Amino acid sequence: LLGKTGNNLRAALDHAKQHAAVLLLDEIDAIAKRRSDESDIGELKRLVTVMLQEVDQWPDTGLLLAATNHPELVDPALWRRFDLVLKFDAPDAAAIATAIQRFLGDDLTLFASWIDVLAAGLQGQSLSDVERSINALRRGHALQMAPLEQLIGSALGQRQEALSKAERLNLAIALAKAGRHTHMQISQMTGVARDTIRKHAGPSPRKGRGLK
């Protein structure tokens, strides 16, 4: 509500302070942007002042947490008022593999031999994006939209442009070791040359199925 945002925010924070609460402010950048940002209206700048005052007055009986995917947008003065700042980097392949096993649920046995391949292909994504990709694969298999290896190949092929050169090579090697696609098909999915795949993974064991 334009003109009332500051008062409403202060009322919510005051309520939390009175009840020894653990309060999580998600997407804190929405209400605590840098005051030097000339694109914001005056009211949004005043919200930062409200936040600074409230954090200064936060009681020891409660815990205030804030989260953001865009730390560069948050006013530096707010950062300085928090006792601790934790940064969560993008998960590595090992963390993604562990998450995939959890997200697969009852389909874990079905996809077990593909976990390393999926972990290599989904590098660089957040765990929520990984979960979305895995759910899409499970849904595609349940609806019998295509053979399993074709569904996976299609999903990984769409991801290859977002991967670095080293990540594409890791994906190509994982696919080659899985033995379900030819080097030509893997090259088409990952953009890695067949000679490079052969150099790192050995000769192609057999012709793959399902991918054109």
What's residue 212's pLDDT?
A: 38
88 or 44, which is more confident? 88
Q: Tell whether domain 5-81 is in CATH 3.40.50.300.
A: yes
Q: Considering only CA atoms, which of 200, 55, 26, 208 is closest in space to residue 189?
A: 208
Pairwise CA distance, residues 173 & 175, whole Å: 5
Pairwise CA distance, residues 101 & 151, whole Å: 18
Q: Burial letters for 80-110: b for 16+ Cβ neighbours within 10 Å, e otherwise?
A: eeeeeeeeeeebebeebbebbeebbeeeeee
Domain residue spans of the chain: 5-81, 93-201
Summarize the confidence of residues 4-31 as an average pLDDT: 87
| 125 in Cβ contact with 100 (< 8 Å) | no
pLDDT in tens, 54-97: 888 888 888 999 999 888 889 889 888 888 999 988 888 899 99
Summarize the confidence of residues 108-116 as an average pLDDT: 89
Query: Mean pLDDT, the chain, as a whole number?
Result: 83
pLDDT surpassing 50 at residue 211: no
Pairwise CA distance, residues 130 & 114, whole Å: 14
Summarize the confidence of residues 26-30 as an average pLDDT: 89
CA angle 136, 158, 194 (to 5 degrees): 130
pLDDT surpassing 50 at residue 174: yes
What's residue 40's pLDDT?
A: 57
